[in-house]
Structure 1
């Protein structure tokens, strides 16, 4: 093996490890924020968190210009523009808002595993929008993943946490519904981006960075409105002078000023999402989207394990402490992983193999 090959192997392994660690950090950082209580008030700011996420995405445009990245020129494609990227950015904004709201009220591992359903929705969109065909094995993998997702979601309602600051099952049900809706908006974003890449010459870092800039513009318009729309729910509202609102930017910064570690976590969230995009895009470029999917599954295991440790050793409730709930989650998680592996054909089922397989292209 040559020095260049050795360096390449080291580089790729570094990307994989980096993606696992940074991706885990990003989810846990948001969970830390959502379980922080200041003067008896829980830090609940899903829309400001989404805004911070777009700040991180916009950082990718800095990397694009600093490192003078250029898209590979395909003479059969046009040069992509700035404005059209506002559409996937809108989908991204809706997705992020819904998921950040949900993460306030359910364990981070369940949040992460339910997001695994993105494979199902994307497969459906690919079939009906992009007219791609699914093999029998892929269909079986999707069904197995659906079963796993159902079991994981069910565990959080059958068994309550042992600590007193648990949320009601109603708000958990709403949170899971929000995640399911977000899967469709996120899949729409991915499908739209795929069509853009088919037609235009784009560098991935440029796409991510510009979408981040569009997201900042969207939230710059929406945020003042959310600050004055009353919120009458008992849970999930941000309160200012006894009145609940969908978001309170001033309260967000007041709470940051009152807790230095909370401020650090917000900064870490901004940079971790930027790094996560960098690692993820490079894994897709130098290895495959399949590897990126497997790595994301490994991240889920770490999130679940760390969440259990935090819940058992601190006053923060990140995961369900019931051993039966954890056992059910583990079963659901195994089925979800198997579904992903079968769908991606890392595990081949002989009797499901088609003579002429038409595989769904890597997302």
Structure 2
């Protein structure tokens, strides 16, 4: 039992460390200079991420072979079902890395929390899900937190030499979260319908992503864009040949990209294992601590400004995520506060807000334990 607990704690630590490392390594690699230019290749970096995801497929196959007869029956499904979510992943990831080139690592990580807002709205519109009041309150708080973070960047960085770039970067990251939210909704449908192993799903998306993005980088070589989006000599949308030249002249870039690939692979594996071993409360707390680590590390590592008002944005963002996922606050209110108002009109209103419908005796377990 003790050894099992130690393994769970180790996996949680790996998830937090690699999750923070992904962003920090990507930003550090962006700042490295070679061949007279910074290494700003968002599409090339995105492809490295897909290589990291592909390793999840390798791990899945190895685990399946290791278990042998105990591996269980694999659900039959068409692997190309993951092509559409992969396209969303490619688009979102490329926009994210482009945004990371333009804005700070801390804002990049915090703005990534907007995926909760967009995934929630898409679930209501597309999947016809009905949300309780606390989920809507969570999305409102997430929106408020994002607004504070965005306003901080506009006010404190908007008048600097690269102020407009920072704002554009923030917008690209938010747009990327819309695409990732679409991806999440599509994945939810596939995973629930076909009961696909999450590790297999991530690996397939990594394989598809690498193949598709590698093919896309050919026409990207012939497309020129403004300097805001490209600092390579010929302002190509993506110049993989110049990227390879920079890597050959600056070994630290290769170290950074290799670190990114390894970190992404371990993060996806640890993230899926954490979901299996731990409850939602622990998972959300770990995600929040990852954001905090990146924020704190970005100040000394990359010279990011400490903006006190961003603390408010971070708090609102975390509170919104906790409320939306029914972590801590909802269960506490259902267990300790609502029973005092039992049988009153206030109880009906509160139950409707915290559960989405009136309380009935046969639903008591759901009321006090939340939605599973």
Please give the TM-score of this superposition, normalised by the length of structure 1: 0.87
2:295 matches 1:301: no
2:119 matches 1:122: yes
1:72 offset after TM fit, Å? 6.4
Q: Does the 8 Å CA contact 1:283/1:289 hold for their aligned counterparts?
A: no
Match of 2:185 among 185, 191, 197: 191
Q: Residues 1-363 of structure 1: matches in 2 within 5 Å?
A: 5-68=1-64, 79-160=76-157, 168-231=162-225, 233-240=226-233, 243-311=234-302, 317=303, 319-320=304-305, 323=306, 326-345=307-326, 346-348=328-330, 353-355=350-352, 357-358=355-356
Cα RMSD of the aligned pairs, angstroms, is 2.3
Distance in 2 separating the partners of 1:261 and 1:161: 32
1 or 2 for the larger relative contact order (CA 8 Å, sep ≥6)?
A: 1
Distance in 1 separating the partners of 2:21 and 2:161: 24
Distance in 1 separating the partners of 2:232 and 2:218: 15
SS at match of 2:232: strand
Q: Does the 8 Å CA contact 1:79/1:201 hold for their aligned counterparts?
A: no
Distance in 1 separating the partners of 2:183 and 2:371: 17
Q: Does the 8 Å CA contact 1:137/1:353 hold for their aligned counterparts?
A: no
Q: Does the 8 Å CA contact 1:151/1:329 hold for their aligned counterparts?
A: yes
Q: Does the 8 Å CA contact 2:153/2:167 hold for their aligned counterparts?
A: no
Distance in 2 separating the partners of 1:106 and 1:244: 19
Distance in 1 separating the partners of 2:112 and 2:223: 29
SS at match of 1:67: helix
Comparing both structures, which one devotes a greater share of its residues to helix? Answer: 2
SS at match of 1:79: coil
Distance in 2 separating the partners of 1:330 and 1:256: 37
Bigger CA radius of gyration? 2
Distance in 2 separating the partners of 1:289 and 1:152: 26
Q: Does the 8 Å CA contact 1:82/1:210 hold for their aligned counterparts?
A: yes
SS at match of 2:355: coil
Q: Does the 8 Å CA contact 2:35/2:249 hold for their aligned counterparts?
A: no
Please give the TM-score of this superposition, normalised by the length of structure 2: 0.85
Q: Does the 8 Å CA contact 1:136/1:353 hold for their aligned counterparts?
A: no
1:181 offset after TM fit, Å? 1.3
SS at match of 2:23: helix
More deviation, 35-44/103-112: 35-44
1:281 offset after TM fit, Å? 0.5
Distance in 1 separating the partners of 2:283 and 2:277: 11
1:96 offset after TM fit, Å? 0.5
Q: Does the 8 Å CA contact 1:238/1:248 hold for their aligned counterparts?
A: no
1:132 offset after TM fit, Å? 1.6
Deviations 1:240-286 (A, max 9, x none): 3xx21111111111111121222101000011111110010011111
Q: Does the 8 Å CA contact 1:136/1:354 hold for their aligned counterparts?
A: no
Q: Match of 2:361?
A: none
